[in-house]
């Protein structure tokens, strides 16, 4: 008589396999042990697929998914990476997109991935607009990322096709545009923002715009507004933006926030333009219309100084002044938390923290002020760590306002450990 082997509880199996997420060979071997181990191992082995077109075409990827339908149900993240090319001209080196993704091909790929939750489209131009769309019902995503958005111009703009990609989905938890290689829009002056729209209604809950040009910013925000025509049915809750162009972007952002003033709850703002321009037009910040965002509960202001800033102190001081101006404006009564995000910087202790304390204390609805001070090294940070540690905020701690109210706290490192003020050694 053969004694039946003991079977590990499934929760223990999942715990073990969680430790093997980076060990592809081990997971592949585990999937062959027994039927009970197969789903747990394959869900980690095939959860994320990345295809670079210079290695394998996107059409070949579709054929692969067609051939292995028993594996596609495990795929929750897909990354499609295009071929990047740099062309040498007489005067400069120009970035061009060497790969074009057909929207109809992407639609066919999506029909084969029922568990897909995150989609990354990197270094791609786009072609083909589908009307009507072949996906019924349309799938939903937690995250859709366009990285290195093509420039907006008369000759090579594929922004309409890109907006067609967005319309493939009925719901997007967070929509992200990153323009790392976005070129200056030399020939886009004649284009009308009204020409761009998402060809279908999409429920977008979060929008993140980083380093894209002002013209792309205007076109994208206008298209999103048009995709949600009924003001009181708009559901966008989170808006993250890094301004990298001109002060005209402030007006664009303000109009966008006004369009979603009944739904916006969280705003994360990083005016990178202040790092590289010395003509700080502080009057521009009056156009943000934050006071009209009736449900705004959280406002994050970033001072993460990039390495490109040549005069670091002047740049961070301009940002700090702009933030004091923003926080001095009328703000909605729903605002409960303000977060100031920093990276370690020797100039932080020289900022006018007493003035900031006064400004923040004038916000009657405020219940929490968080100094998000990320330490790139996982070591404890104490108040006495000097000008690049938490000690840089000693003037703020010594100020009577926030400390007396007991609403000042620090988030100290990349592990997101939150430390209230009363736990901080002074």
Please give the structure tokens belonging to residue 165.
Answer: 């990609």
Tell me the C-alpha distance between 311 and 275, whole Å: 8
Nearest in space to 303 (alpha carbons), one of 334, 338, 256: 338
For residue 198, what pLDDT is reported? 87
For residue 265, what pLDDT is reported? 94
> From the CB of residue 112, how many other CB atoms can be counted at a distance below 10 Å?
17
Rounded mean pLDDT for each run of 10 residues along the chain, 426 residues in total: 59 72 72 72 78 81 91 91 72 69 91 94 83 70 90 65 90 89 48 75 90 84 80 79 72 88 91 54 71 93 61 72 86 93 75 90 92 57 48 75 85 51 39
194's CB contacts (< 8 A; 6+ apart) are 222
Nearest in space to 19 (alpha carbons), one of 7, 30, 32, 9: 30
Tell me the C-alpha distance between 53 and 55, whole Å: 5
- Per domain, the residue ranges of the chain are 8-45, 47-236, 336-426
Tell me the C-alpha distance between 73 and 39, whole Å: 10
For residue 308, what pLDDT is reported? 46
User: What topology is assigned to 47-236 in CATH?
Assistant: 3.80.10
> Can you list the alpha helix ranges (DSSP code H) found in 185-245?
214-227
> Can you list the alpha helix ranges (DSSP code H) found in 212-364?
214-227, 248-259, 273-276, 312-328, 353-361
Handedness of CA 79, 139, 149, 304 (dihedral sign): negative
Handedness of CA 197, 199, 200, 202 (dihedral sign): negative
Tell me which DSSP letter residue 288 carries: G
For residue 165, what pLDDT is reported? 92
pTM for this one?
Answer: 0.83
For residue 426, what pLDDT is reported? 36
């Amino acid at each position: 008589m053969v004694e039946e082997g003991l079977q590990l509880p499934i929760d223990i199996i999942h715990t073990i396999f969680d430790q093997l997420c980076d060990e592809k060979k081990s997971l592949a071997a585990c999937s062959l042990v027994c039927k009970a181990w197969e789903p747990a191992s394959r869900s980690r082995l095939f959860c994320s697929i990345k295809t670079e077109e210079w290695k394998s075409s996107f059409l070949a990827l579709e054929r692969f998914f067609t051939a292995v339908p028993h594996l596609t149900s495990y795929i929750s993240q897909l990354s499609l990476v295009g071929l990047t090319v740099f062309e040498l001209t007489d005067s400069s080196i120009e970035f061009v997109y060497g790969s074009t993704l057909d929207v109809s091909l992407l639609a066919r790929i999506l029909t084969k991935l029922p568990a897909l939750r995150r989609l990354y489209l990197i270094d791609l131009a786009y072609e083909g607009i589908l009307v009507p769309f072949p996906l019924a019902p349309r799938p939903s995503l937690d995250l859709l990322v366009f990285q290195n958005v093509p420039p907006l111009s008369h000759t090579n703009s594929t922004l309409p096709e890109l907006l067609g990609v967005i319309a493939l989905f009925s719901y997007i938890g967070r929509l992200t545009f990153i323009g790392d290689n976005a070129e200056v829009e030399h020939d886009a002056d004649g284009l009308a923002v009204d020409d761009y729209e998402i060809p279908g209604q999409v429920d977008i809950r979060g929008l993140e715009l980083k380093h894209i040009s002002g013209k792309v910013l205007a076109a994208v925000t206008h298209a999103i507004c048009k995709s949600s025509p009924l003001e009181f049915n708009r559901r966008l809750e989170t808006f993250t933006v890094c301004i990298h162009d001109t002060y005209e972007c402030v007006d664009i952002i303000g109009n966008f926030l006004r369009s979603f003033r009944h739904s916006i709850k969280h705003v994360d703002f990083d005016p990178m333009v202040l790092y590289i321009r010395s003509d700080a037009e502080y009057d521009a910040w009056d156009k943000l219309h934050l006071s009209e965002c009736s449900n705004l509960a959280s406002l994050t202001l970033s001072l993460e100084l990039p390495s490109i800033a040549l005069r670091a102190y002047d740049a961070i001081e301009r940002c700090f002044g702009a933030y004091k101006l923003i926080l001095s404006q009328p703000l909605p009564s729903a605002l409960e938390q303000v977060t100031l995000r920093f990276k370690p910087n020797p100039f932080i202790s020289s900022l006018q923290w007493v003035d900031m304390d006064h400004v923040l204390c004038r916000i009657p609805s405020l219940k929490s002020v968080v100094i998000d001070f990320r330490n790139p090294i996982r070591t404890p940070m104490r108040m006495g760590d000097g000008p690049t540690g938490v000690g840089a905020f000693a003037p703020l701690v010594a100020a009577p306002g926030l400390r007396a109210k007991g609403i000042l706290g620090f988030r100290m490192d990349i592990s997101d450990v939150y430390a209230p003020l009363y736990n901080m050694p002074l």
